[in-house]
Structure 1
Amino acid sequence: MVKVVLITGASNGMGFEAAKIFAANNWIVYAGARRLEKMAPLENSGVKTARLDVTDHQSNVKFVERALSEQGHIDVLINNAGYGEYGPLEEVSLDTARKQLETNLFGAADLAQLVLPSMRQQSSGRIVNISSIAGNLYTPLGGWYHVTKFGLNVWSDVLDAEIKPFGVRSIVVQPGLTKSSWLDIAFTNARNNLKPNSPYEKLIGKVSQFFQRASSGATSADLAKVFYRAATDVKPKQRYFNSITDRLTVYLARNHPKIWRAIVDRMVK
């Protein structure tokens, strides 16, 4: 039986590249994103594209039901949709914070609830949640983004414990900084979230410079290969990283919080 995968946030970056890899390996791919026109190149690879807003329950229902009605089963859901709503916690509005949570966390949860009944019925399936190394560390300006990724990690682990007895798994991929538009969008959001004459304006420049220096140079295509491993490994791990640097960064932040705080303090100075 041909495998079926659903990928969210597939209009660019890691999701776009992942759709290409799965299609190249003869999977039936359903790729969803808000910007349908940006996925047009994927259709040449046989990918089935759909307009998808993960914060809209009916949009999620339509996405999942289309795959089930056309294929009869779903093997993998890749919860990739997300973005960075950066800005100082004092000034980011709570409405904006809710939007971040709705996209990065609740959207994934909604889609998982929609695919799980069929996965349990077939006694197989995998939910791959694209988190970040930011789910185990923190930096200035990224407060609400970190909340969503910390939350996604824990949510995925709890879900995995609950569904593993049914033959279904929920696992996490934690990318580091990649060569993509993510950083530009995050810091554009940070500037847009500043209030007039904000005391945090200089901080944005400092943190942005730090991120530019810390970028690993990994590409979206590199991470898409990690997505594929997470979806296809016979014995999946709970966590997948692209590089040893990403893994060690998480280890440092989790196990040596004083050292990590010293790094954060240098970022601010």
Structure 2
Amino acid sequence: MKKNKACGSRFKMLLNEANITTTGFAEFLKISKPQNVHNWYTRGVPHYRMEEVAKKLSVNTTWLKTGEGPRDAKELRLLDESGNVLDAQAIRGTYRVIEPLDVDLPFYKETPITPGDKKTHVIKDPGQSIRMPRTDLDSLEINHADAICARMIGNSMAEKIEDGSVVAIDQGLTQIVDGEIYAIEHDGMLRIKYLHRVPGNALRMRSHNNAEYPDEILRAAQIEEQNIRVLGWVFWWSTLNKRRPEVPFL
């Protein structure tokens, strides 16, 4: 079992900085005898464990082994088998997830400016959020902080996006790409529409259900007068089946 005794002091320093006991780290590595991990302080981390330990503690393997090169860690973090990033604090043998695989997207809704007021605005609902996989956001190059959710109201986008569906919006993309779906705040009203640019800085809003909702052309002056603001690009939506099927022969 090849070991590098010189790395023992660096390993001990990492655990001390993160306030992780050798017992807690042994449990994390699924090593049944914590004393074996404690012995690494003086004997060094075994060669066959070096890469695993470096990965768990988010440091460069070469740095842990030799002390040379970049340490490559702004903060000590642990990675579990599922890829969750954990804070390096052992509390009764458990770890707290600080960078989960999912992201909580804040929920926005249209609501009266004051109770009973007919005029509305679009604001954050602190009591709701929607979870989405980080990988989905990353694949679309969406900044996690720019992603929000809202609910489709009405049937203007049916059968593409049904009434009551949840939509996810990228606030980082407000520049209009013709034919894409966007969330708009229209004088305090939340709307989901296809958008098209029109010469003269005008805007065409198109519904998927255009048989009931004809196109709206808004000139530049109207856009300003009616307080039209593009909230962002709609990149995801859920669709709830409106009818539960009846099971025959019961």
TM-score interval (norm. to shorter): under 0.3
Say which structure, 1 or 2, has more relative contact order (CA 8 Å, 6+ apart): 1
Output the TM-score relative to the length of structure 1.
0.24
Q: More strand by proportion, 1 or 2?
A: 2
Query: Which is higher, the Rg of structure 1 or of structure 2?
Result: 2
Output the TM-score relative to the length of structure 2.
0.25
